[in-house]
A and B are shown apart, each in its own frame.
Chain A
Amino acid sequence: MRHAWLVILLAVVGCGRRGSLYEGAIAPLPLVGTSNALVQVVPATRRAVLVTPGAVTPSAVVIGAGARVAARVPGADLVAILSGSARAPRLELLDTETRELTVLDPGSAFDRITFSPEGRFAVLTADFERTSGLAARNLNEAALLDVPSRTVTRLQLDVEGLAPRLVTFGPVETNRRLVAVALERGVALFDATRPEVPARRISLRPPGSTVENSVSQVLFSRDARWLYLRATGLDDVVVIELGSETGAPVSASINFVAGGTGLVDLELAPPSLPDSVVALYAGTPELVVLDARGIEDNVRRLTLPQVMGAMERLSDRRVLVWGASVAAAWDVIDGRSGVATLLGTPERVTVSPGSERVMLSQASSATAPGVLTALTVSEEPNRLRLRTQPIQLARKPTASAVSSDGETMFLAVPPGTGSTQTALVTVDVRTLALAEVLLDAPVVNLFQLPSSGVLAAEHSGNVLGDVSLVPAGATERLSVTRLSDFALTGDLDRPEDRP
Chain B
Amino acid sequence: MKRLISVVLGLFASAAFAQVQPFHANLGLSTQVFSARGYDLVDLDDHFHSFRFAAGTTFELRAWRLDLEAGVTTGGNDATSHVQLATGLGLVGLDLSATARFPVTAWFHPYVRVGVGYDWATLSVTNPANRLSQTVGVVSGQAGAGVQFTVRVTRENQRGVYLFLDLGIGGVLRPGAAFTSVAPPPPVGPQADPIGQRGGVNLGTLPLSGITWRGIAGIRF
Interface residues of A (CB under 8 A from B): 8, 11-13, 15-19, 21-26, 44, 55-60, 438, 440, 461-464, 466, 468, 477-486, 488-494, 497-498
Contacts and interface: CB of A to CB of B under 8 A. Distances in A.
Contact of B196 (A12, A18, A25, A478): A478
B179 interface: yes
B82 A492 contact: no
Given A12-B169, A464-B127, A477-B194, A57 B37 contact: no
Nearest to B123: A492
Contacts of B180: 57
A467 B194 CA distance: 16
Nearest to B47: A16
Contacts of B202: 57-60, 489-490
A8 B212 CA distance: 12
B97 interface: no
Contact of B127 (A56, A438, A462): A462
> Closest 8 A-B residue pairs measured CB to CB?
A16-B46, A492-B204, A493-B204, A56-B199, A462-B129, A483-B199, A22-B81, A25-B83
B84 interface: yes
A485 B47 contact: no
12 contacts: A15-B33, A16-B46, A18-B44, A21-B40, A23-B82, A56-B200, A57-B199, A462-B127, A479-B196, A484-B201, A488-B182, A498-B37
Given A57-B181, A481-B196, A491 B204 contact: yes
A484 B46 contact: no
A13 B82 CA distance: 26
Interface string B146-174: 00000000000000000000000100000
Contacts of A59: 202
B198 interface: yes
Nearest to A482: B198
B115 interface: no
Contacts of B203: 488-492
A464 to B, nearest CB: 6
B117 to A, nearest CB: 20
Interface in B1-35: 33, 35
Contact of A489 (B37, B41, B197, B201): B201
Contacts of A19: 37, 40
A486 B201 contact: yes
Contacts of B179: 492
Contact of B85 (A26, A58, A482): A26
A498 to B, nearest CB: 7
B82 A484 contact: no
B195 interface: yes
A18 B45 contact: yes
A26 B184 CA distance: 19
A232 B206 CA distance: 57
A44 B84 CA distance: 13
A485 B127 contact: yes
Contacts of A8: 169
Contacts of B175: none
B132 interface: yes
B129 A492 contact: no
A467 to B, nearest CB: 10
A440 B196 CA distance: 12
A139 B190 CA distance: 60
B195 A492 contact: no
Given A21-B41, A492-B179, 10 more contacts: A16-B47, A26-B84, A58-B201, A461-B128, A461-B129, A477-B193, A481-B195, A483-B199, A484-B201, A493-B205
Nearest to B82: A26
